[in-house]
Amino acid sequence: NAGVTQTPKFQVLKTGQSMTLQCAQDMNHEYMSWYRQDPGMGLRLIHYSVGAGITDQGEVPNGYNVSRSTTEDFPLRLLSAAPSQTSVYFCASSYPGLIYEQYFGPGTRLTVT
């Protein structure tokens, strides 16, 4: 099992550019989510999905878009990159339920100049 994979690992964008962060999992998890991690702020939820075709907003959704066409994939799109989106992005997946821990990808470090 590869677990949760994310690509790319590092990315530098110019302000206004768009890009897609890829996330895939091979554990047949229904739940997938995207977090951003900034110093002193912990992990903040951007968007999440409870199954294929179903997505919802988290705490900090502005400037990001998601879709979930398959159980395995959950890409995060930056529509028009801004310096405030410089962060480390984590994708996570889990089974549905209170008791299940999140499985995290290795993260993508994004810098917007």
Partner 1 sequence: AQKITQTQPGMFVQEKEAVTLDCTYDTSDQSYGLFWYKQPSSGEMIFLIYQGSYDEQNATEGRYSLNFQKARKSANLVISASQLGDSAMYFCAMSGPGPSSGGSYIPTFGRGTSLIVHP
Question: Would you tell me which residues interact with partner 1 (CB under 8 A)?
Answer: 31, 33, 35, 40-45, 48, 50, 56, 58, 88, 90, 92, 94, 96-104, 106-107
The closest of 37, 76, 70 to 54, measured between CA atoms, is 70
We find the least distance from the C-beta atom of residue 43 to partner 1, in angstroms, to be 4
Residue 26 or 59: the one with the smaller Cβ distance to partner 1 is: 59
Show the beta-strand stretches assigned E in the chain. 4-7, 10-13, 19-25, 31-38, 42-51, 54-57, 64-66, 76-78, 87-94, 103-104, 108-112
Tell me whether residue 1 or residue 42 sits nearer to partner 1 (CB atom): 42
Nearest distance from C-beta of residue 16 to partner 1, angstroms: 28
Three-state secondary structure call for residue 83: helix
Q: How far is the CB of 37 from partner 1 (least distance, A)?
A: 8
